[in-house]
A = this chain, B = another copy of it.
Amino acid sequence: MGTNVIGVDMGGTKILSAVIDAEGNILGTAKVPTKADKGPSIVIDRIADSIQRAIDKSGVTAASIQAVGIGAPGPLDPATGIVIFAPNLRWKDVRLKEELEARVGFPTFVDNDVNVGTLGEHVFGAGRGFQNVVGIFVGTGIGGGIILQGELFHGASKTAGEIGHIIVKAGGPRCGCGTRGCLEAIASRTAMTKQFQKAIVKKRKKSVLSELTGGDLRAIRSGVLAKAIRANDKLTLKVIKKTTKYLGIGIGSIVNFLNPELIVLGGGVVEALDNTFLDSIRAAAKKYALPNTLDGVQIVQAELGDNAGILGAAALARQRSGAT
């Protein structure tokens, strides 16, 4: 029996594979571009190739590998390993598990990338030792995952954890999903960018963001936000204040409804900003949660950063294959 597993973090632009031992040590990694435009079959070849290269670099034998775990975008069926729809890959009904197993010969387990990130934090990161955990990842969108009694909870339609689409302000800003007032439509980086554009372009507000982005406000990165906060930029602070308020409202609703032991906040925006960002979210959550409901609930920052994907995928491989 093998003692190592492979964790694969599959994104729209790159594939990161790693050999990971039972203690969560990363023994070797390989990163390759996804090249999604070449179609699913080539992309799956590339995953197989990155796995082989990670094994080579780690110096372990193929016989020591128990299983492969993959975090993939999009609605997918974790039981069959079929990616139902992944717009950024242009995939539809791709048999990822089956196709990769045919190429690499290891049992392969697939789950949604945000679920896998949450599992990673649960097993190796900020969620260690907690049984009921909600992961919230704030980036271009807002994604989430739910751990109940130590395992990923998928729900009836395999879509559980869509925290970005709890409605916090009925009639509020239009969301990509077609409705209005979703958390993602108010508190994601995309939502913040819209607020910056409106203020700077339409209302001609002054902001260091104009300078920091060289005038291109279309894609304000999290690092740029961090710089603007350090520069005490009034507009940025105002938008950040609104963002933390709404993240607090979303978390307050989750605390009132599900009352998990731990909420782990991660993603590009959370990682780039400093502790006052997290403190503001905590303060807002406290305001919107019922008295006492927050007593047993901790709100903490994710610990694994860019490694959450591969470590979570390794944990997935280990849990689902029954490896110890």
The yes or no answer to A166 lying at the interface (CB within 8 A) is yes
Interface string of A124-157 (1 = CB under 8 A from B): 0000000010000000000010101100011111
- Inter-chain contact A290/B159, CB cutoff 8 Å: yes
- Inter-chain contact A162/B257, CB cutoff 8 Å: yes
Which of B149, B156, B167, B291 has a CB less than 8 Å from the CB of A259? B156
Q: How far is the CB of A230 from chain B (nearest CB, A)?
A: 29
Residue of B nearest to A245 (CB): B170
- Inter-chain contact B163/A257, CB cutoff 8 Å: yes
The docked-state distance in angstroms from the alpha carbon of A156 to that of B172 is 31
The yes or no answer to A109 lying at the interface (CB within 8 A) is no
Residue of B nearest to A165 (CB): B256
A–B complex contacts, Cβ < 8 Å, 6 sampled:
A148-B149, A157-B293, A162-B290, A166-B256, A167-B253, A169-B171
Which of B160, B257, B294 has a CB less than 8 Å from the CB of A166? B257
- Inter-chain contact A75/B292, CB cutoff 8 Å: yes
> Knowing A168-B170, A170-B168, A249-B170 touch, does A155 contact B258 (C-beta < 8 A)?
yes
The docked-state distance in angstroms from the alpha carbon of A207 to that of B102 is 70
The yes or no answer to A91 lying at the interface (CB within 8 A) is no
Contacts of A177 in B (CB 8 A): 290-291
Contacts of A181 in B (CB 8 A): 169
Binding site for B on A (CB under 8 A): 75, 132, 144, 146, 148-149, 153-163, 165-172, 177-179, 181, 246, 249, 252-254, 256-261, 287-288, 290-297
- Inter-chain contact A157/B288, CB cutoff 8 Å: no
For the A-B complex with A132-B155, A148-B153, A177-B290 known, give 8 more contacts whose Cβ atoms are closer than 8 Å. Answer: A155-B258, A162-B256, A162-B259, A165-B257, A167-B168, A178-B291, A179-B287, A179-B288
The docked-state distance in angstroms from the alpha carbon of A297 to that of B291 is 31
- Inter-chain contact B256/A297, CB cutoff 8 Å: no
- Inter-chain contact B290/A260, CB cutoff 8 Å: no
Residue of B nearest to A144 (CB): B257
- Inter-chain contact B132/A156, CB cutoff 8 Å: yes
Which of B171, B257, B292 has a CB less than 8 Å from the CB of A254? B257
Listed residue (A75, A153, A158, A170) with the most chain B CB atoms within 10 angstroms of its CB: A170
Residue of B nearest to A246 (CB): B170
Contacts of A163 in B (CB 8 A): 256-257
The docked-state distance in angstroms from the alpha carbon of A148 to that of B165 is 21
Residue of B nearest to A156 (CB): B296
Which of B149, B159, B168, B172 has a CB less than 8 Å from the CB of A292? B159
Contacts of A146 in B (CB 8 A): 257-258
The docked-state distance in angstroms from the alpha carbon of A171 to that of B288 is 11
Listed residue (A261, A288, A297) with the most chain B CB atoms within 10 angstroms of its CB: A288
- Inter-chain contact B249/A162, CB cutoff 8 Å: no
- Inter-chain contact A161/B252, CB cutoff 8 Å: no
Q: How far is the CB of A166 from chain B (nearest CB, A)?
A: 4
The docked-state distance in angstroms from the alpha carbon of A258 to that of B160 is 5
- Inter-chain contact B288/A156, CB cutoff 8 Å: no
Residue of B nearest to A85 (CB): B292
